[in-house]
Amino acid sequence: MDTRELREVLRQSALLHAVLPLSSVCNVRCLFCSNNQNPLGVETYSIPPRPLDEVLEDIPLLRSHEKVNIGESATRINEGEPYTYDGINVVLSALRKRLPGAVISLTTNGTLVTEDDVRLLSELGAVEVTLSLNARSPEARESLMADRDPGRALQTVRWLNKHGVTFSGSMVAMPCVTGWADFEDSVRLLAESGAETVRVFLPGFTGVASAEVERQSRSVDVGAVLESARRLTEETDVPVIVEPVPMTSSLPLVHGVIKDSYAAHAGVRPGDELKQVDGSAVVTATTAYDRITRAASPALTLERGGIEVACMIQKPSGAPSGLVFRGDLDARRLMKTIERLRTFPGRSAVITSVLAGGYWEDIILGQALSGRTKVFAAENRFFGGNIRCAGLLTVSDFAEVIRGAAMASWGPGLVLMPGEPFDHTMRDLIGVCWEELRRVAPVLMEVL
């Protein structure tokens, strides 16, 4: 890719995904880093620190109502550690000046952050930090991340707490490397230091990961991680959420409640099922989350252990309530999809990732569309390993489902598939255009 094309990818990151990439440089080397696990042919880009002028030039492309993301790999750019970037504080200050009301989401490993940096985050306001801690003891941090200054990230956790910066913790669960005691102590440290939630990621590996990474990832006992997360949630009163796990239900079940949040003060509890928001029925977690966030002091009807409970979450419109749900499909996109399936005059099919298959089955059932729509889960054959998500599906993965016997015997007139794997030119991660699928079967295909 030449410089002009790369510049366009960076501009599109800001414009379409509200992601402002700074640099692919990172100061640590995590065993599980996805930047090193791409099969041959994958079009992702590692970039040196960008010229500051260029980054500042892209800030006006961001929309004021969207959350701006820094340091999270959500596009084709391999994100590094944002605090390796000399101009990080200039960029953050410029963002706040240009977008006074926008939430800035910043993901960091915390190993280069100073107390002055944290003070600035606190002054800027509306900054949500995700601190990827992963391990606590010097030995565990050395083995898992090659972190040579292990005390620094722990200090950052304390500074975030001291200066009142909203933050969540994240961990990659590799107790086979760090030991269970370190894993659980790290979650406790985050929780005791004021993390709103702790996300625990099960390690992913692709078909080209090293044998060692594959062995370590496979040895993770998922059941034990889930049980540990359940116990830690109970012990710390902070939602500890394990991802990715297959979604089997679209019901608006409250997965967690952030401590001292509006929802916690209203008495909502994990396990509650939302029935109504301001008198209107809600049937999926996505729409429930969306409506509660947008509303000012929404009145909720919940079901708790078979009993109906009413409460009101006292909060301003647009403020997050503190409720944590599983499933993050955009509510508008979900409603558009349901509408399309409902109005299509004939049989239809929805292709999903393996992880989201159960969720979509549930949606189709709940919307009484079973007689006319079927769900087909696509395997991530190109990426291989234990990858099962929509963002890493390729045109060849979709083609395999469309060519398959199950799809042929259903004979849909419309096939819908997720848009996550495609960029602004509708190419997948290896540069194959979505249009290629039209050669596979003469059927109407659309991207969600």
Chain contacts with ligand SF4 (rule: CB under 6 A): 26, 28-30, 33, 35, 80-81, 109, 132
Query: For ligand SF4, which is the closer residue by CB, 78 or 287?
Result: 78
What is the smallest separation between the CB atom of 12 and ligand SF4, expressed in angstroms?
Answer: 21
Query: For ligand SF4, which is the closer residue by CB, 186 or 337?
Result: 186
What is the smallest separation between the CB atom of 213 and ligand SF4, expressed in angstroms?
Answer: 12
In the block, which residue shows the tokens 């599109």? 12
Paired with 324 in beta bridges are 256
Query: For ligand SF4, which is the closer residue by CB, 146 or 408?
Result: 146
Q: Which amino acid is at 95?
A: L
Query: For ligand SF4, which is the closer residue by CB, 35 or 93?
Result: 35
Query: For ligand SF4, which is the closer residue by CB, 24 or 321?
Result: 24
What is the smallest separation between the CB atom of 134 and ligand SF4, expressed in angstroms?
Answer: 8
What is the smallest separation between the CB atom of 387 and ligand SF4, expressed in angstroms?
Answer: 16
Closest CA to 244 of 169, 354, 168, 322: 354
Query: For ligand SF4, which is the closer residue by CB, 23 or 386?
Result: 23
Q: Which amino acid is at 381?
A: R
Joined tokens for residue 323: 């409720």
What is the smallest separation between the CB atom of 37 and ligand SF4, expressed in angstroms?
Answer: 10
The total of other beta-carbon atoms located within 10 Å of residue 51's CB is 10
What is the smallest separation between the CB atom of 183 and ligand SF4, expressed in angstroms?
Answer: 17
What is the smallest separation between the CB atom of 146 and ligand SF4, expressed in angstroms?
Answer: 8
Query: For ligand SF4, which is the closer residue by CB, 146 or 224?
Result: 146
What is the smallest separation between the CB atom of 36 and ligand SF4, expressed in angstroms?
Answer: 8
Paired with 172 in beta bridges are 201
Query: For ligand SF4, which is the closer residue by CB, 71 or 418?
Result: 71
